[in-house]
Amino acid sequence: MSKEQMTTTADDAIITVRNLSKYFDDFEALRDITLDVKRSEVLCLIGPSGSGKSTLLRCLNFLEQYDGGEVHLDGELIGWQDISHNPRKPLSGEALRKQRQHIGMVFQHFHLWPHMSALDNVAEALTSVKKLSKKKAKEAAMAALTKVHLEDKAENYPANLSGGQQQRVAIARAIAMEPQVMLFDEPTSALDPELVGEVLSVMKDLAAEGMTMVVVTHEMGFAAHVADRVAFLDSGRLVTCVPPEEMFGREPDDARVRSFLQTYR
Ligand code: ADP
Ligand code: MG
């Protein structure tokens, strides 16, 4: 990264993405993405299927190793050893786990442990990663479940929870770790329509509390009402990143954005 680019980084940015590129073999999944996420900002990522939304999100916590450019979280380079190393070496093991602790992620499918209660699902990483005592972990897990309004379901196993409740447990599990940023990859896409609202409502509360969030979503109502900015991806490129009023409020200039949004009208 050049000095010039460094100095243009906004002071209040918690995530900075600079000239990010990602290939799957010869296929260019992300091209030259430059983007900031500010503290307490909600950034929604929208765009057609296959445009690179999940890949971008996964690069933000190094679930994907990127090929060019840089991602920083709170000034720290994500996923790679010291920037002065050439070629850069990917972080692994404990170092990567430590970095990921600051980033919570919620997926389309909830990935809960089926053999553990809701409470134990949330408490697990608090003991294994954060090294809290069992008692402290359970207290923190209960507080997180209360935040997502599931305190009365703490002893339920995933099989005895609805999809919406399971996703709220997954959100509780992530927020219990007290991350600096939460990433959501289509958190409501696997849910029956009547269960979408309860999950979006919990996400809205989190946003109102000042959590920094990057949300891949097809819920245009959520993006319009909760996002501070909406980014549109197409074929691995960042087409535009603007406030929701601009994205949804008038006829978009870009033909790709126009045709995408038409399918939601
Ligand atoms: P989106 O989330 O916007 O639907 P993705 O980020 O999942 O898009 O995928 C972007 C492109 O990269 C797609 O063309 C997809 O097929 C390709 N891709 C994603 N993951 C892999 C992978 N592990 N191996 C090869 N190609 C992939
Ligand atoms: Mg995706």
226 in Cβ contact with 39 (< 8 Å):
no
Do the beta carbons of residue 22 and residue 59 sit within 8 Å? yes
Protein residue with its CA nearest to atom 21 in ligand 1: 24
With bands split at pLDDT 50, 70 and 90, how would you rate the model's confidence at 61? Answer: very high
**Which residues fall inside 5 Å of ion ligand 2, going by CB?**
54
Model pTM score: 0.94
d(CA 182, CA 171): 9
* Spacing of C-alpha 3 from chain mean position: 28
Atom of ligand 1 nearest to the CA of 236: 10
pLDDT digits (tens, 9 = 90+) for 211-225: 999 999 999 999 999
**Beta-carbon count within 10 A of 27 CB:** 8
Tokens of 191: 């849910």
Supply the residue whose CA is at minimum distance from atom 19 of ligand 1: 55
Query: Does the C-beta of 49 come closer than 6 Å to ligand 1?
Result: yes
Residue 256, CA distances (Å) to 21, 22, 46 in order? 21, 22, 12
Q: Is 117 in the pocket of ligand 1 (CB under 6 A)?
A: no
Looking at residue 80, what DSSP letter applies? B
Instruction: Give the number of whichever ligand sits closest to the CA of residue 47.
Output: 1
In angstroms, the CA 248 to CA 261 distance is: 8
Does the structure's ipTM exceed the value 0.85?
Answer: yes
pLDDT tens string 98-149 = 888 999 999 999 999 999 999 999 999 999 999 999 999 999 999 999 999 9
Question: Which of 20, 21, 22, 24 should be mutated for ligand 1, with most atoms under 8 A from CB?
Answer: 24
Atom 1 (ligand 1) nearest CA: 50
Tokens representing residue 134 in the block: 């069992």
Give the integer Cα–Cα distance in Å for 65 and 96. Answer: 12
What is the number of other CB atoms lying within 10 angstroms of the CB of residue 198?
18
- Mean per-residue pLDDT for 146-171? 98
Q: Is the shortest distance between the CB of 51 and ligand 1 below 6 Å? A: yes
Between the CA of residue 163 and those of 154, 184, 245, what are the distances in Å?
Answer: 15, 16, 31
Q: Which of 20, 27, 55, 218 to mutate to test the pocket of ligand 1 (most atoms within 8 A of CB)?
A: 55
Neighbours of 189 (CB within 10 A): 14
Strands 212-216 and 181-185: parallel
22 lines ligand 1 (CB under 6 A): no
How far is it, in rounded angstroms, from Cα 165 to Cα 163?
5
Q: Distance from the CA of 176 to the center of ligand 1, in angstroms?
A: 30
CA distance 60 to 245: 26
Which residue is closest in CA terms to ligand 1's atom 16? 50
Mean pLDDT of 254-265: 89
